[in-house]
Chains A and B, each alone.
Chain A
Amino acid sequence: MIVDQLISILLSGITLGSIYALMSFGLSLMWGTLKILNWAHGALFMFGGYLAWVFINIYNCPYIISLLISLLVLFLVGAGLYFSIIRPFVGNANFLFTTIMTTLGFQLMSESVALIIFGSRYKKIEAPIIGKIIVGVSALTSEDILIILTTTACFSLLYFFLNKTRHGLAIRAVAQDLDGAKIIGINVDRIYAYTIGVAAVLAALAGILTSGIYFLEPHIGYVPMMKAFVVIVLGGLGSLKGTIISAYIVGIVEAAASLFIGLIWSLPTLFLLMMIILLIRPQGLFGYE
């Protein structure tokens, strides 16, 4: 009995954790380089899902092609977001809070735009593969497997990107030492835009994958964004490794909370967890002062 429950918690926890890892990695990257908290992350999540839905269901593109097109578009949207509502404030005294305000405005605005364009009816993206794996009494559906595999592939690519390519190394350089990066001739402005573009791509990927298990609706991005905030605070702001680990912790805690306390209490449980962790260890589990 208890083993079955543990297996089911573990499976759904890993699935949820993969989505949160995708969501929060971008946020953590942005905190590392720009020192901002992007409140428009939910909008990027939602736009990614809707864009893929449009390509699949209206233009009848294959899954993989529409995924790639929407990720490309979202990269541009992310960069555009930087140039329109973040860049004018770089260097301001109140940079963090000004950008929180503008990105929150963008988030609620784009929820409204999605409501106007797509309506409030639920939409779903069918997974390209079907079937399931049965483990004990619980099962991994094809959507769950797709989420876990894509996340693994995506983080492998990101590892390669951040450690081997010029732009990835530049992003890490800016995160480590802004002045040093400027001295060796890195175009910081462009790196900021790249960072937000990559974060937007990750959020959109999470959105597209999630629309296989949940339904797409204009307000879908808000709650995952809240959970991503919990994840990055838990893992320590700016710590990339900590973010991924704490994403899976949060996923498993959420799965356990929804099993034992009830689905409606999963978000309050996570917030309480975050409050307690912050009060005991303000720099997060894996953070540094």
Chain B
Amino acid sequence: MNKNSRTIRFIVLMAVLTIFLLIPWVVPNPRYVLHLMIMFFLWAAFASVWDFQLGCSGIFAFGPLAFFALGGYTSALLSLGGVNPWLTIWIGGLIAAAFSFLIGSLTLRLKGIYICLLTMCFQEILRIFCINNPFTTGGGGEGVGIVGWYYRGSPGGSVTFIGTGGFNGITFIPSLVPKWFDSRIANYYIIFLFFVLILFILYKTLKSPIGYAIISIRDSEKLASSIGINLYKYKLIVFLITGFFMGLLGAYYAHYLRCISPIVMNPDQLLMLLDMIVVGGSGIFFGPVAGAAIITIINELVLSWQQYRLFFFGIVLILFVLIFPSGVVGFLKGKKKR
């Protein structure tokens, strides 16, 4: 790459950044658009992080939303216990990374299909755990318990312990931004910062020796191990990085929407993320971001046909895998080369 094209690239990148920074002040109906943009940045970052596992390092880990929920629940419970939310989102990320490391260290020596099944199992266990809510005597739903560290005061003044909150999840989580500030604009800038930061770190990791090792493992495990790359170590590094970012994003999600429930781990959420990755292009750096943009817009367009949404996303997934296996970005790139 010569110096000229690098300058052009830099200018384009700066222009895009400026446009995104200006959006809250120029668009009409900013509250609605900003919510969409926040959700887009959140899921784009999340899809990129998951694709770092699937497409870039070739580990088919199928339970990313478990770490998302772990970060979210940890941060929500801690901040309701009185800790500053700006501190708890990082703790949420660290807890998710710890669990990711644990799951990775247990499973990553196994064959690919077992990694897929075990990570999926972990997600299902966590989902059922959160729904069943073993901390309370009421079983599922909201019960009344004896001990605990999270109490929700109702308007009447009585106090109820809710644990993980059962099916309804945890609500009234403190926001990251103080009340006197317009929270949506602030939240937009926060998630934008996280998005840029996460993508930057992932990009730098991919361009570092670690990244080359990871890509060589994806391309051929046998060759990689024969030239002395420690497969297990590098896969664990991938799990650690992705686990941390997933937990961080989950914590952000909990503090932005001010509620988190086991619904975030539903299979249809997984399908939407898979759609983003496949539509954009798996294993291509900006693929999941493009896919997230497309899916967010389509999701908003088909909002009034809520019943047919899953049907539609299933069809999209199958058709894209069948016809454009490398996604929209891969398709466009391939065209340019020819």
Contact = CB atoms under 8 A, between A and B. Distances in A.
A111 B321 contact: no
Q: Do most interface residues of chain B lie in helix, strand or loop, or is the interface mixed?
A: helix
Q: Taking each of B117, B139, B309, which has the highest tally of chain A beta carbons within 10 Å of its own beta carbon?
A: B117
Contacts of A96: 60, 112-113
A112 B33 CA distance: 29
B314 A101 contact: no
Given A108-B268, A112-B311, A267-B124, A278 B118 contact: yes
Contacts of A37: 113, 116-117
Contacts of B128: 264-265, 267-268
Given A101-B278, A267-B128, A109 B117 contact: no
Interface in A243-289: 262, 264-265, 267-268, 271-272, 274-275, 278-279, 282
Is chain A's binding surface mostly helix, strand, loop or mixed?
Answer: helix
Nearest to B121: A271
Contacts of B317: 101-102, 104-105
A254 B317 CA distance: 34
A68 interface: no
A100 interface: yes
Contacts of B203: none
A160 B112 CA distance: 34
Given A108-B313, A264-B132, A233 B322 contact: no
A106 B114 contact: no
B116 A100 contact: yes
Contact of A116 (B117, B139, B311, B322): B311
A101 B321 contact: yes
A112 B307 contact: yes
A91 to B, nearest CB: 13
B302 interface: no
Contact of B267 (A102, A108, A113): A108
Contacts of A89: 321
A262 B132 CA distance: 11
A148 interface: no
Given A106-B318, A112-B310, A116-B307, A229 B117 contact: yes
Contact of B310 (A101, A108, A237): A108
A113 to B, nearest CB: 6
Contact of A102 (B113, B129, B308, B318): B318
Given A96-B112, A282-B111, A88 B322 contact: yes
Given A111-B310, A267-B124, A268-B125, A98 B113 contact: no
A259 to B, nearest CB: 16
Contact of A109 (B139, B270, B314): B314
Contacts of A83: none
A69 interface: no
Nearest to B275: A105
A105 B278 CA distance: 12
A264 B267 CA distance: 19
A109 B314 CA distance: 5
A96 B131 CA distance: 31
Contacts of A262: 139
Interface string A138-149: 000000000000
Q: Which of A97, A108, A116, A279 has the most CB of B within 10 A?
A: A108
B114 A109 contact: no
A187 B129 CA distance: 47
B271 interface: yes
B268 A115 contact: no
A85 B318 contact: yes
Interface in A7-57: 37
B87 interface: no
A175 interface: no
A178 interface: no
A7 B278 CA distance: 50
A278 B113 CA distance: 12
A85 B322 contact: yes
B118 A275 contact: yes
A182 B118 CA distance: 34
B292 interface: no
A101 B317 CA distance: 8
B11 to A, nearest CB: 37
12 contacts: A104-B270, A105-B313, A105-B317, A111-B310, A112-B309, A233-B117, A265-B128, A265-B132, A267-B128, A268-B124, A275-B121, A278-B114
Given A37-B116, A279-B106, 10 more contacts: A96-B60, A104-B317, A107-B314, A108-B314, A109-B310, A267-B125, A268-B128, A271-B121, A278-B110, A282-B111
